[in-house]
Amino acid sequence: MHTDTERCVRAVQSKDSRFDGWFFTAVLTTRIYCRPSCPVVPPKVENMTFYPSAAACQQAGFRACKRCRPDTSPGSPEWNARADSVARAMRLIRDGVVDREGVPGLAARLGYSARQIERQLLAELGAGPLALARAQRAQTARLLIETTGLPMAEVAFAAGFSSIRTFNDTVREVFALAPGELRSRAARSATPPPTPGVIALRLPYRAPLNPTNLFGHLAATAVPGVEEWRDGAYRRTLTLRYGHGIVALTPHPDHIACRLSLTDPRDLTLAISRCRWLLDLDADPVAVDDQLRADPLLAPLVDKAPGRRVPRTVDGAEFAVRAVLGQQVSTAAARTHAARLVTAHGLPVDDPEGGLTHLFPTPGALAALDPEQLALPRSRRTTLTTLVGALADGTLRLGTGTDWEKARAELTALPGFGPWTVEVITMRALGDPDAFLPTDLGIRRAAGQLGLPSTPAALTARAAAWRPWRAYAVQYLWTVDDHPINHLPA
């Protein structure tokens, strides 16, 4: 979009927050870059230039605006809607893969050479993987500086910097303030003061966002001990790269309040990325709803409660296991089966603020389970143990950077994986916005009540007009049935 100068100028002059994250405005006279909705007086058109990423702005010598804080914009919705190598690379960079494994590790995950990935990202985003990762490290550092009391040396290494000097230089270059100045400014405005051991931050999103189905679904399907709804917040444990954490997510009219407790601050980037992914916060609800509203049978559902998101997961392997446990049983039964696995194989954790007790067991831990102890039909046991084995030995990888069509083929080849299981994993674990569930009982009931075709083949043909947003159509169709997933808990 950044190449459409006229459209970008209109967005900046109208301060349209819908375009935050789509592009960034750099001002040639002040050498500052902003988000489109920056509250300051818009600069003259001849002084504006546009970039596709914050990293590209920083590479061109611009610093972040102190008013609108463009580094905290929602991510571009393109990276969640596309399945090509650039989109997959952006999702992996957002998860911190470059910081942990370098550019060669990123390229290996994508199946390309490092030079190809560098060339593709430069062509589309104006910055290579190292620059994009550097921009993310700068934002992580700012969060740690402003929300914790960690010494600056620990902040530097937790944010992914290789040296304190690089950390200091980057923070000064990006924010035009020294790390100590950032902390002083944050301390003056913080009310109440930060809680020791807790990182509190705001997760932005594009309006509208309807929390009812999003948090209602997560609460209704919560696995006891791993997830809970408490005091108006969805809480769960997180298995992370260097340790584990507990997150509490509370919906507000203009943001999601996020409280993170981490055993290792180096996991902050990954934890934030997982939370944004879980709640689908980088979606473009206006684009989605406009297309779905064009269908006269879906329009009343969209108009009644616009801005529905797809409730996802923080761990693809975890969700795949839970999807198998939920085959052909009620939500309550699926939660019971999952809770038994958690109690038997999950790692215990302490939760002073609530009732969380375990991490969901990893595929490696579940590989040792005795299938005869599972209260499941024999065929379902085979399905579960085969899935766990493939996840544990690495032959099946389910993550934000996974190729959707390749994953569909690999899942379909496993015993006991029908279209429903494959599509629900692709939708909620892998984030495909076009995944569709024509055989789902709730979808078939909704189709009958709305006058849509009732057979899976005919409904799939009708749903072609909803592409590439069929996963969001599923969220609206599920609201037709009075199910707990459609209601926030009291």
Q: Which two tokens stand for residue 410?
A: 């690999």
Q: Do residues 340 and 325 make contact, with C-beta atoms less than 8 angstroms apart? A: no
Other C-beta atoms closer than 10 Å to the C-beta of 61 total: 10
Give the helix/strand (H/E) hosting 180: helix 179-189
Rounded Cα distance, 283 and 302, in Å: 16
**Matching residue, tokens 């709305």:** 450
Cis peptide before 208 (omega within 30 of 0): yes
The burial of 386, by beta-carbon neighbours within 10 Å (0-12 exposed, 13-18 middle, 19 or more buried), is given as: middle
Q: Which two tokens stand for residue 316?
A: 């693809």
Counts for the chain of helices (H) and strands (E), in that order: 23, 9
Q: Which two tokens stand for residue 240?
A: 């992370």
User: Any idea how long the chain is?
Assistant: 490
Q: Is 197 left (phi over 0), alpha (psi -120 to 50) or beta?
A: left
Q: Do residues 35 and 23 make contact, with C-beta atoms less than 8 angstroms apart? A: no
Q: Which two tokens stand for residue 95?
A: 């998860």
Its sign, for the CA torsion 226, 238, 402, 80, is positive
DSSP state of 23: B
Rounded Cα distance, 262 and 403, in Å: 30
Which residues lie closer than 8 Å to 83 by C-beta, 6 or more apart? 403, 404, 405, 432
State the catalytic residues. 34, 440
Q: Do residues 469 and 433 make contact, with C-beta atoms less than 8 angstroms apart? A: yes
Give the helix/strand (H/E) hosting 401: none
Q: Which two tokens stand for residue 450?
A: 């709305």
